[in-house]
Amino acid sequence: MRQLNRVNQFQRLWQLSQGETQHLSVATMAQHCFCSERHIRTLLRQWQEADWLRWQGTAGRGKQGTLTFLTTPDQLRQQLLQQQLAAGEATQALQVLDVQPEHLLTMLRPLMGGQWLNQAPVLRIPYYRPLEALLPLHLTGRAEQHLARQIFSGLTRFRDNNVEGDLAHHWQHDESGCDWFFWLRPQLSWHNDEPLYATQLVTQLHKILRSAPGLRLLASVESITAPHPLALRIRLRHSDYWLPQRLAHQFCLLPHPELATIGSGAWKLAHFTDELVRLESHPRWHLQRPLIQAVEYWITPQLFDRTLGTSCRHPVQIAIGDPDELDALRPVDRSISLGFCYLAPRISSRLSSAQAKTLISLIQRSGMIQQLPLDEGLITPSLELLPGWPVPPPAEENAPLPATLTLHYHLPVELHVMTEALKPLLASYGCQLTCIFHDVKSWRDERELADADVVMGDRLIGDAPLFTLISWLENDPVWQPLRGAHSDIHLRQHLREIAQQQNPDQRAILSHQLFEQLMRAGYLLPLFNYRYQISAPPGVEGIQLNSLGWFDFTRAWIPPPAAVDTVHHTPEPLP
């Protein structure tokens, strides 16, 4: 990029005196800029015409002239960055950001949040880490799961804790609950503008069925066919009234069967690198169109460096705007996460049920979660598994703990702090705790936990909390021992009985009873929930937290600049 090269060469001269007036020869300047004397004379002429500097040369070879700077490299980079972003050249603009972190902060502050570029509204979000590839069957991160739901559609989808149509607009089943029809919307389109066909969805659903997570999620499915261009038929081995919820699960999001990054959701993936992720609205989406043109994630870990004094330090606290001034931004929404970090004793010959209950009781009575050395307002102790499902009080068990226990745990990082608090607590009761960390966000298989006496992890809860918890029991390796034929809980039997209840209220009652049994038997203790928060600058509207701590990109909107200057009250939604 020619302009950036000129800025870099200008910076080499500027750094010789940190912007103070210099007396230099043309030969010396050429040496510092790694170019010929002829080229440096050309650059000096161009820089003077652009008002970057003033050069007063002296006649004679080797004579020194006077070099006076009229701007700084940071100001030039800022101008170049804004020009490229205004032209929609976000990828090229990233090359400008190769500067020191403290300078990066200054450059990015006015560019984050909502912007109007070429008469199109764009939302920019600074983010603290590169994102994983957006493959629905393999996603573990909260941000990735949220993005996948913006890009890919399923036959159904979750909304406001309910399941509704997505690619399908209606569905029905026979009296046995084993024969289901899903009716597709007409004129569906992939992001590459190809028509979407029912046979393609059948192909993709068969791929999901052959995968390990899909096989567990859709274990009751016997066959999937397309008897009509606008219909899918799914036959089950036994009744399963969770089927619409299963088809709305992340694993059942439907990419193009031949192009894994192409979906049919509200947003299409326009750019994906470790530095920038850009989504653009899909003009042929089958539901309500997005209100902005593009969303960009600027992957800038430097902005989240504690040593720089930045405030946006945790992924549950999202700042749409300048992360260095989080407190000055407008908090638009806060909530307590439905998901929770949990502790799960694995009752076996090494850890009895009485000992597991004692372990849970010690943690509950100690008040250790309230005393964890974490940022204020980040977590809150779990008092309920779900709203209206209280965690049972400490049991009266007082069984001696084993001399040693092995705990396996994974991310988030707050569980590091939890393990450090658990070690001295259990040591005071004669139990040495060995902690083994797994650098993952969810358990991959039972082999990872073969030696674990206790497990700690994080359970994300999506838009359908009840189904999400049931799916956790069905799929997560943590619960594999309880799904076996010799389990005293008979988990597999309970799960099938719940799935075969056509009445959703009855499914909810039986699900509550099952989790109550697990908690009272010493298999599960919810530890703490996160406090989600989103902050945004003035002029970014329509932001409301969802259950993953993000917000629906299709509802965000940015008033045009002229409107912001004339309207001084909070816009009200239309009735």
**Both structure tokens of 369:** 């979660």
What integer pLDDT is reported at residue 378 of this predicted model?
83
Rounded Cα distance, 288 and 14, in Å: 52
Neighbours of 404 (CB within 10 A): 12
pLDDT tens digits, residue range 154-192? 999 998 778 999 999 999 999 999 999 999 999 999 999
Q: Give 274's Cβ-side CA count (13 Å radius).
A: 1
Rounded Cα distance, 343 and 360, in Å: 8
Q: Cα torsion for 25, 31, 33, 35, to the nearest 10°?
A: 110
Mean pLDDT by 10 residues, the chain (575 residues): 74 82 85 83 87 81 82 77 60 53 49 70 83 87 89 93 93 96 96 96 96 92 96 97 96 95 95 88 91 86 54 50 49 74 93 94 93 84 93 90 95 91 95 93 85 93 88 92 80 94 95 96 94 69 75 83 52 43
Residue of 89, 458, 123 whose CA lies nearest to 321? 123
Rounded Cα distance, 327 and 307, in Å: 17
What integer pLDDT is reported at residue 62 of this predicted model?
66
If you ran DSSP here, which 8-state letter would residue 527 be given?
E
What integer pLDDT is reported at residue 305 of this predicted model?
57
What integer pLDDT is reported at residue 11 of this predicted model?
81
Q: Is 304 helix (H, G, I), strand (E, B) or coil?
A: helix
What integer pLDDT is reported at residue 48 of this predicted model?
87
What integer pLDDT is reported at residue 559 of this predicted model?
82
**Amino acid at position 147, single letter:** L
Q: Tell me the H-state helices in 181-300.
A: 198-210, 212-217, 243-247
What integer pLDDT is reported at residue 34 of this predicted model?
80
What integer pLDDT is reported at residue 308 of this predicted model?
43
Handedness of CA 382, 342, 519, 246 (dihedral sign): positive
Rounded Cα distance, 134 and 138, in Å: 8
What integer pLDDT is reported at residue 355 of this predicted model?
95
What integer pLDDT is reported at residue 97 of this predicted model?
52
**Both structure tokens of 148:** 């996948």
Rounded Cα distance, 143 and 439, in Å: 17
Residue of 288, 277, 238, 302 whose CA lies nearest to 134? 277
- Asked if 379 and 328 count as a contact pair (C-beta separation under 8 A), the reply is no
Rounded Cα distance, 197 and 205, in Å: 13
Rounded Cα distance, 494 and 486, in Å: 14
31: part of which helix (H) or strand (E)?
helix 26-32
What integer pLDDT is reported at residue 303 of this predicted model?
62
pLDDT tens digits, residue range 409-424? 998 888 999 999 999 9
